[in-house]
Amino acid sequence: MKTGTLLLLILLGSFLTAETADEILVKMENAGEYTTSEMESEMKIVTAKGDETKMRLMSYEKRGDEDFSLMWFTEPARLKGTKILTKGDNIWYYNVRTNRDRLLTKSAKKGSMMGSSFSYDDMDMEYTKDFTAQILEDKKDFYWIKAVPLDEDRKYSYLKIKVRKEDFLPEIVEYYDKTESKYKEMILDEFVTIDDHPTALNIRMEDLSNGKITYMITDPETLKFNSDLNEDLFNEKKLKQ
Amino acid sequence: MKWNRFGELIVNKHKIILVIATFVTLAAIFFTSRLKIKTQMMDLLPQKEELVINFNKIMNNFDAFDTVIIGIEGEEQDIINYIKFIEDKVEDVFGVDRVITESQVDFLQKNLILLTEREDLENLETMLTADNLRDFVKGLNENFENSYTSGSDSENLSKDKTELLMMTNTLQDFLTNLKDPNPERSQRIADEFVSGKKYMISPDRSMGLIFARTSISTMDGDGTLKLINGLEEVLFKHEAEFNVEANVTGLHAIQRDELVTTERDMSRSSLISLLLIILIFILGFRLIRYSVMAVIPLILGIIWALALTYILIGYLNLMTMMLGAILIGLGIDYSIHVISLFNERRISGGTVDEAIIFTFEKAIPGVISGSITTALGFFVFSFSSFKGFSEFGIVLGIGIFCTLIASIFVLPSLLKIFGKKRLKQREHNGFMLKFESFIINKRWLVVALILLALAWSFYKMNSVRFETDMMKIEPKGLASIELNKKLIDKFEFTSDTSILVSESIEETRMLKEEFDDLSTVGSIDTIVDYLPTMEEQQERAEYGALVKSKLKSEPSFDLYLDELSEELFRLENNLIELSDLAYVGAEKKIVTYCDTIVNSGIIADLAEDIYAYESNIVSVQKQLISRYQEHIAAANIEETITLENLPDNIKENYLGKDGKIMTTIYPESDVWQEKFQNLHVSQLSPYIKNLSGNLLVMLKVISISGSEGKKVLVWTVILIFIVLLIDLRNFKYATLAMLPMIASFVLLLGIMGTFDIKFTMMSVIALPMIIGIGVDDGIHLIHRYKIEKQLLPTVRSTGRAITMTTLTTIAAFGTLMVSEYRGFIGYGLLLTLGIGLAYLMTVCFLVSLISIVDKVKK
């Protein structure tokens, strides 16, 4: 075979196998495909001054027409029993010390989640529904894509995401504002596969605007997918139980 | 050139030379006494820089820009008493135009409705229309929940931290007042719920502020000194009477403190280095008179250089201030060479005249060419676009020539008169010879060890960073800087701000909205906060009219004790939730404030036993609600606030003489934290044409000194290599002479990387100097080696001189490390390390390399 023909075939082959940006978004979403999940994690928040707060929490998630999630704080003592329930766009907050629950304002979803560097939005990204994307870099093991949110009210103008080709999980997510400045960065590592689901055990979110870093470290022993979760967990009326 | 003719000239005309030198020095002292010192970062930047042009315009145009901040620490009431007492006295201090001790409470109370956003008015409606305490506390709860807990978002907590802390403060007073009623306190609490605290007291009630406006520019050094000294005199005189402690900060105070510290540093390090050098001389030459004679031309050269600096530039900046210390370190080498040669001839039996002529024949050409290379090294700096470097290059270049002239004219003239005492021949113990024999014998091992150290340095040098925290070059414990830190801690208030200048109110509004969206912007102090748009004012006035219509002509003062008890429990729950929210967000102050109230049990006590406090509640309700409703009833909804009817004391904070508008941008976090700093600058960059201020000036100085430092370094290396090629006329030896210098440079970076020593805008200028000075040892050695053709005799002859000049240079630069100003410490440290390493590399690496390349026999 002539060299020119071979090169042409290789080139064509690469076109045939390369994903488009939209396909990457679909694969990213599929990478996290499950009906339910539960895990126990440690959340550590370190401020720019070095002040540190450590918490432990159980997280439960149920996917369907509308996604449900519950965060149930188990440590420290002052927060033990505090819960945050998200159902679609609604968020309920239950404080165990006051024994009060309340539906938070809609705008809370865009804000910081309980003072961490995560927003409620960060915890619930629907790649195909919420973003349009373009490929910035196509390397051997990963892509860098630029994801622009369809919702213009989001705090960020766009995200730059480093996506692993191996399992289409994000490895780095950078948040850019309207001045094209990176103001937040999420780094995921300790990738494992549990019950056929690839996932990252450690997440580090740094808010460059205030120097606050939030670490979310998941205990792999507690990570379960597609288990039967009690419906009551996601019942806002039973938060006090 | 016939150098002996010059020698003869000195011998014949030495008295005339000394008389001329005396007159020149007297004239120079006159000029030197007029020399100013400028320690501002602004003085280091080029005047045509946009940031500098903006800065100067702001300084000339806005009176509010020049403000001295007075911080008073003590108990709240003592602070207030002191402020009331000292106010007039501060106003009488030289340079003070106006004193601000109170917030804009009158204006805020009068225009409460027009200045409150419609949404907040709705949140506050229950509270605004309350005619009893139950409704008042209910309104307070609603406002709390709507503003903070309903969002469950500690981002708001962080942004509104000071406001929130102030509110919990007032809340604590309110609860205390229910337990222990006081009519005056009830009224004050009502006022504070409307317009905040009257005096500028920190939320923890331990610090108060006074702002002193001045017409003295920070560019006016003498005026600044008089202003700050005058203020301190008045403040310190009376602080003990009131049991408080007062200090000053702001640009003027920091500049005065820097001026005093840097002057003290320079005097101290110059004196110590002179003493050390005399000591080294005494140890080297064993005669005090020669030590004194060596120092005289040095002092004359420095005085002449300072006078020329006054004539050419007019002032010294932070970098040229080090002139004395640098010239002592470098200029002494000329005296060493002159005295060494003079003594050599005297010991061998020559007369004083013969010795002087011999010195001119043998030493002066080398001294002149050495000084030319050093001066050229400095003049490279003068081509930098960074004014700090260019002035440094000019002043130091001139300084080198001045000490050179003094050394070749004055020193031989002095030797002619005082050099009659003959030195004795000294026995050398040959340490240098033994050491170098060892180096030559073990040359491969030496080279291997050095290469190993170089490899380690290459590995570590990548971690060397540039210090982005300007405060790290300031002296530790400086009163003005310490107060500045306390302001950040107690008021979340920093002077590291950016100033935005806009043409109109509309433009200011638009820019404020855009800046509000920037995550690194903490708060914005702007005139538009006092000037809502016509539409907003109209909308608020309409709502205000509705609120007012609900006010009864006389409050009912009905008592609902059970419901009030419930509202108090609700208030406690709100504080608990707020505290938990703040706990997760690591907002420790808010946690402490809320927990203090909750844990004191005051709310539970009042709520559980409300009937026991019935009489208290009746009296507080009457005093507080009456006063509160008075404010609401009197609140203006008829007269629109316009720029014209805005009170002068507000306008002058924002309006310039040419009608332009100044807005102050406060950063959200510590601007000296590197990542935050980068983001803040990136977010502000689209607006840079409208911006200036101390912060941006300092950041510009950091970035420009880093980039220009690299350029100067590269040019110095190129220039020195060219000079070496011309001087040695041999590529091999020119390269060999460069190698120890490059090796010492790499090792220095390795040490910096290992011990986390960062470059600063001051220490970065040490690098080209290390290269310029460090290469001298190699040049001397190779020069002599080319003549002698034998390595060991060369080492024996030049080793002592190299050691001596290195010791004196290190003595001079090392004394900078006893400075208080940390910028000088870093600079002294790098120079000491760099020159020490250059010396070691010359006597170890270069000698080994020559012995290998030229196959010198062991």
- Whether residue A106 lies within 8 A of chain B, CB to CB, comes out as no
Contact A149, A126 (CB under 8 A): no
In Å, how far is B483's CA from the nearest CA of chain A?
A: 18
Amino acid residing at B542: E
Contacts of A214 in chain B (CB under 8 A): none
In terms of CA atoms, which chain B residue is nearest residue A209?
B520
What does the alpha-carbon distance between residue B794 and residue B806 come to, in Å, rounded to a whole number?
17
Indicate if the pLDDT at residue A7 is higher than 50: no
Read off the pLDDT of residues B503-521 as tens digits, 9 standing for 90 and up.
999 999 999 999 988 888 8
What does the alpha-carbon distance between residue B185 and residue B28 come to, in Å, rounded to a whole number?
67
- Whether residue B533 lies within 8 A of chain A, CB to CB, comes out as no
**pLDDT category, A228, cuts 50, 70, 90?**
confident
Contacts of B566 in chain A (CB under 8 A): none
Q: Which residue has the higher pLDDT, B795 or B92?
A: B92
**Across the interface, do A115 and B576 touch by the CB < 8 Å criterion?**
no
In terms of CA atoms, which chain A residue is nearest residue B585?
A115
Q: ∠ CA A88-A92-A97 to the nearest 5 degrees?
A: 160
Read off the pLDDT of residues B351-372 as tens digits, 9 standing for 90 and up.
889 988 888 887 787 778 778 8
Residue from the list B150, B153, B588 with its beta carbon closest to the beta carbon of A51:
B588
Indicate if the pLDDT at residue A5 is higher than 80: no
- Whether residue A212 lies within 8 A of chain B, CB to CB, comes out as yes
Q: What is the pLDDT of residue A115?
A: 65
**pLDDT category, A107, cuts 50, 70, 90?**
low
Please give the average per-residue pLDDT across A206-227, as a whole number.
89
What does the alpha-carbon distance between residue B481 and residue B258 come to, in Å, rounded to a whole number?
10
Contact B484, B254 (CB under 8 A): yes
Q: What is the pLDDT of residue A3?
A: 45
The percentage of residues in chain B with a pLDDT greater than 70, rounded to a whole number, is 96
Residue of A210, A212, A214, A240 for testing the chain B interface, max B β-carbons within 10 Å = A210
Token pair belonging to A118: 């995560």
CB atoms within 10 A of CB A149: 17
Q: How far is CA A16 from CA A19, A30, B113, in A?
A: 8, 21, 66
In terms of CA atoms, which chain A residue is nearest residue B149?
A104
Q: What is the pLDDT of residue B847?
A: 84
In terms of CA atoms, which chain B residue is nearest residue A155?
B517
What is the average pLDDT score of chain B?
A: 86
Token pair belonging to B271: 């004196």
Q: What is the pLDDT of residue A13?
A: 42
Q: What is the pLDDT of residue B61?
A: 82
3-state secondary structure A150-192: CCCCCCCCEEEEEEECCCCCEEEEEEECCCCCEEEEEEEEEEE
Short-list B361, B65, B70, CA closest to B210: B70
Please give the average per-residue pLDDT across B71-88, as a whole number.
94
What does the alpha-carbon distance between residue A114 and residue B719 come to, in Å, rounded to a whole number?
60
SS3 state of residue B324: helix
CB atoms within 10 A of CB B708: 22
**Across the interface, do A51 and B156 touch by the CB < 8 Å criterion?**
no
Residues with Cβ within 8 Å of A151's Cβ and at least 6 positions away in sequence, in order, are: A130
Chain B residues 568-587 with a CB less than 8 Å from chain A: 573, 576-577, 580-587
Read off the pLDDT of residues B817-850 as tens digits, 9 standing for 90 and up.
988 888 889 989 999 999 999 989 988 888 888 8
Which range has the worst mean pLDDT, B220-224, B280-284, B427-431, B619-623?
Answer: B427-431
In Å, how far is A84's CA from the nearest CA of chain B?
A: 10
Pairing label, strands B36-37, B315-316: parallel
Short-list B99, B77, B84, B82, CA closest to B237: B82
Q: What is the pLDDT of residue B267?
A: 87
**Across the interface, do A48 and B157 touch by the CB < 8 Å criterion?**
no
**pLDDT category, B740, cuts 50, 70, 90?**
confident
- Whether residue A191 lies within 8 A of chain B, CB to CB, comes out as no
The sheet carrying B691-692 orders its strands as B521-525, B661-667, B498-502, B691-692
Which range has the worst mean pLDDT, B34-48, B429-443, B500-514?
Answer: B429-443
Q: Which residue has the higher pLDDT, B744 or B56?
A: B744
**Across the interface, do B518 and A177 touch by the CB < 8 Å criterion?**
yes
Residue from the list A48, A107, A114 with its beta carbon closest to the beta carbon of B584:
A114
What does the alpha-carbon distance between residue B793 and residue B795 come to, in Å, rounded to a whole number?
5
Amino acid residing at B659: G
Contacts of A94 in chain B (CB under 8 A): none
- Whether residue A46 lies within 8 A of chain B, CB to CB, comes out as yes
Q: What is the pLDDT of residue B333?
A: 84
Residue from the list B155, B518, B588 with its beta carbon closest to the beta carbon of A112:
B155
β-bridge partners, B73: B207, B245
What does the alpha-carbon distance between residue B300 and residue B451 come to, in Å, rounded to a whole number?
44
In Å, how far is B763's CA from the nearest CA of chain A?
A: 27
Contact B701, B45 (CB under 8 A): yes
Residue from the list A46, A95, A102 with its beta carbon closest to the beta carbon of B150:
A102
Residues with Cβ within 8 Å of B218's Cβ and at least 6 positions away in sequence, in order, are: B40, B59, B66, B224, B251, B252, B255
Token pair belonging to B72: 């008073």
Read off the pLDDT of residues B12-32 as tens digits, 9 standing for 90 and up.
899 999 999 999 999 999 999
In Å, how far is A207's CA from the nearest CA of chain B?
A: 9
Task: Say which DSSP state A105 is in.
Answer: P
Amino acid residing at B58: I
Indicate if the pLDDT at residue B283 is higher than 70: yes
Place of tokens 């700096």: B381
What is the average pLDDT score of chain A?
A: 82
Contact B771, B741 (CB under 8 A): yes
**Across the interface, do A47 and B586 touch by the CB < 8 Å criterion?**
yes
Q: Which residue has the higher pLDDT, B176 or B50?
A: B176
- Whether residue A48 lies within 8 A of chain B, CB to CB, comes out as yes
- ipTM at complex level: 0.81
**Rounded (to 5) percent helix, strand, coil in chain B:** 75, 5, 20
φ, ψ of residue B790 in degrees (nearest 5): -125, 135
Q: What is the pLDDT of residue A108?
A: 60
Please give the average per-residue pLDDT across B796-822, as a whole number.
84
Residue of B119, B123, B155, B688 for testing the chain A interface, max A β-carbons within 10 Å = B155
- Whether residue B558 lies within 8 A of chain A, CB to CB, comes out as no
Residue of A98, A99, A113 for testing the chain B interface, max B β-carbons within 10 Å = A98
